[in-house]
Amino acid sequence: MNLQKKKKVAVVGGGPAGLMAAEVLGAQGVEVHLHDAMPSVGRKFLLAGRGGLNLTHSEPFDRFLGRFGDREDALTPMLREFGPDALRAWAHGLGIETFVGSSGRVFPKDMKAAPLLRAWLHRLRQAGVQFHMRHRWLGWADASASATQLRFATSEGEVANDFDAVLLALGGASWPRLGSDGVWAPWLAARGVPIAPLQPANCGFDLGWTPYFAERFAGQPFKSIALSFTDDRGRHFARKGEFVATATGIEGSLVYAASALLRDQIAATGSATLQLDLLPDRSAEQVRAAVLHPRGARSLASHLKSRLGLEGIKSALLHEVLSREAMHEPEKLIATIKALPLTLRGARPIEEAISSAGGVRFDALDAQGMCLALPGVFVAGEMLDWEAPTGGYLLTASMASGVAAAKGVMSRLAA
């Protein structure tokens, strides 16, 4: 008889990390009980797939690992076990073909999240995974309660159950309406688990536009623009891309990519000043020649539009940072076109962020992913203290951590 079939494991959280952990455990014959506060699982997963589900990235693996910044060393063993290639093979095993887009990002062939999730849940049910929806975890009864005895609020009242092991995959604190609300952080901290403060990641920032700019240009994109920033630690970011003006500041893919450095600089000094190259495809010499070219009776605005294509939101941005007098100082205008400074005052609230940073610190876990202060309790996904840019990195690492934590559970059960 396989004794593991008698073992009962709770997985708390029905996002990608929790579902992947349930799959690994279910495949080993464990009795898996997956709990989620929502009426259905994978809600943030489905939302992320509305514009095309970005599963992972096809870039060289060493470069892929580098996207995790200070947490590269902690995540590398997990990603070597279940990385981009393994994720694509896993999707193919569910009958979901994938392709590599022009940016190197990997998508399902039909771009949709729902067919993949349906196939995944069918596999989990076939493996015997039991789903308990509308079960909101409430922590433990008291400080003396067993770490594997959990309380849940349900539509029929509070219930308590004891398990052989617990795997928590409750997400961070972004998109709380979809279930990731971070309420678990003080509960774990009270039981002696070190928690790094939860912070917004892949987020927008406030800077304070003039009323004219905010009213006229909020929601409009900055296209073909380069953003650069160097923080006080010497960490540097420079990339070309796009982002969007909001009523209070900026957001969008290019801003999200730099958000970790910008957020940390604001936390350290109260502000962060980045530089924008409004014309990254033109050299400073080309811009100078165009600005200094005789314009005759034309206005400066007409001259810049004719010679450099500067108009609309980019032209308005120049007027945001330069006075009327400075606009007519050629060298100052040239320098600002190629390195326009924007000073950010604060990150947008974590509830608006695509993901979150902070969480259970890696030094709070043993080599198997179990909380040192909570024997039998394992952690996966965005609950852990790491972050990554968009582009498939978040999903891949979340699922990889689910695999790693589930294998840690198996090792404990076997012992």
Q: Is 118 helix (H, G, I), strand (E, B) or coil?
A: helix
Q: What is the rounded end-to-end Cα distance, in angstroms, of the chain?
A: 17
Identify the residue whose tokens are 């887009």. 101
Predicted pLDDT of residue 261: 96
Predicted pLDDT of residue 4: 42
Largest CA distance in the chain: 93
Predicted pLDDT of residue 175: 83
Q: Are residues 192 and 254 in the same domain?
A: no
| Domain end call among 347, 367, 400 | 347
User: Cα separation of 9 and 167, whole Å?
Assistant: 8
Q: How many domains does the chain have?
A: 2
User: Cα separation of 167 and 145, whole Å?
Assistant: 17
Q: Are residues 14 and 114 in the same domain?
A: yes
Q: Are residues 267 and 335 in the same domain?
A: yes
Structural domain harbouring 74: 3-200+356-414
Q: Are residues 160 and 212 in the same domain?
A: no
Q: Are residues 28 and 153 in the same domain?
A: yes
Q: Which CB contacts under 8 angstroms, 24+ apart, belong to 316-320?
A: 316/213, 316/216, 316/217, 317/213, 317/222, 317/276, 317/278, 318/278, 320/209, 320/210, 320/213
Q: Are residues 118 and 240 in the same domain?
A: no
The count of other CB atoms within 10 Å of the CB of residue 212 is 11
CATH number at residue 172: 3.50.50.60
Contact 369, 140 (CB under 8 A): no
Q: Are residues 381 and 237 in the same domain?
A: no
Non-local CB neighbours of 350 within 8 Å, separated by 6+ positions: 172, 173, 174, 182, 198, 199, 200, 203, 356
Q: Are residues 33 and 178 in the same domain?
A: yes
* Nearest partner of 15 among 384, 407, 412, 411, judged by Cα: 384
Q: Is 163 helix (H, G, I), strand (E, B) or coil?
A: coil
* Nearest partner of 226 among 188, 280, 157, judged by Cα: 280
Q: DSSP letter string over 122-161?
A: HHHHHTTPEEEET-EEEE-SSTTS-TTEEEEEETTEEEEE
Amino acid of residue 297? A
User: Cα separation of 174 and 294, whole Å?
Assistant: 52
Q: Are residues 143 and 224 in the same domain?
A: no
Distance of CA 17 to the CA centre of its chain: 13
Residues facing residue 342 across a β-bridge: 274
β-sheet with 377-379: strand ranges across? 130-133, 31-36, 8-12, 165-168, 377-379
Q: Are residues 160 and 290 in the same domain?
A: no
Distance of CA 261 to the CA centre of its chain: 14
What would you report as the CA-atom Rg of the chain, rounded to the nearest whole angstrom? 25
Q: pLDDT tens for residues 253-268?
A: 999 999 999 999 999 9
Burial class of residue 239 in the structure, from the number of CB atoms within 10 Å of its CB (0-12 exposed, 13-18 middle, 19+ buried): middle
Q: Are residues 169 and 247 in the same domain?
A: no
Predicted pLDDT of residue 5: 52
Q: pLDDT tens for residues 22-33?
A: 999 999 999 999
Q: Are residues 161 and 303 in the same domain?
A: no
| Domain end call among 318, 347, 376 | 347
Core vs surface per residue 28-66: b (16+ CB within 10 A) or e: bebbbbbbbbbeebbbbbbebbeeebbbbbbbeeeebbe
| Domain end call among 299, 324, 347 | 347
pLDDT lower than 70: segments of the chain? 1-5
Non-local CB neighbours of 48 within 8 Å, separated by 6+ positions: 54, 113, 395
